[in-house]
Structure 1
Amino acid sequence: MLDVQQAFLRRLDDHEVVTPARSGGGQRRYSRRQVEQVQQVQELVGEGLTLAGVRRVFLLQSRIAELEDELAARRRADRPPGS
Structure 2
Amino acid sequence: MTADDSFSRLDDDDYPAYTMGRAAEMLGTTPSFLRAIGEARLITPLRSEGGHRRYSRYQLRIAARARELVDQGTPVEAACRIVILEDQLEEAQRINAEHRRTAESANPPTAT
**Structure-1 separation of matches of 2:84 and 2:66:** 13
Where 1:29 maps in the other structure, the secondary structure is strand
Paired residue for 1:37?
62
Q: Deviations over 1:20-66 (max 9, x none)?
A: 11111111111101111222121100111112211221221122122
For 1:38 and 1:59, the matched residues in 2 are separated by 11
Corresponding position of 2:87? 62
Q: Following superposition of structure 1 onto structure 2, how do residues 43-82 of structure 1 map, counting pairs within 5 Å?
A: 43-79=68-104, 80=108
Conserved? CA contact 1:20–1:29, under 8 Å:
yes
- Quote the Cα distance in structure 1 between the aligned partners of 2:92 and 2:33: 32
Alignment partners' CA distance in 2, 1:70 and 1:22: 31
| RMSD (Å), alpha carbons | 1.7
Percent identity over paired residues? 36
Q: Normalising by structure 1, what TM-score?
A: 0.81
Give the total of aligned pairs.
81
State the partner residue of 1:8. Answer: 33
Counterpart AA for 1:6 = P
Give the gaps of 5 or more residues in structure 1. Answer: none
- TM-score, with length taken from structure 2: 0.63
Q: Of the two, which has the highest radius of gyration?
A: 2
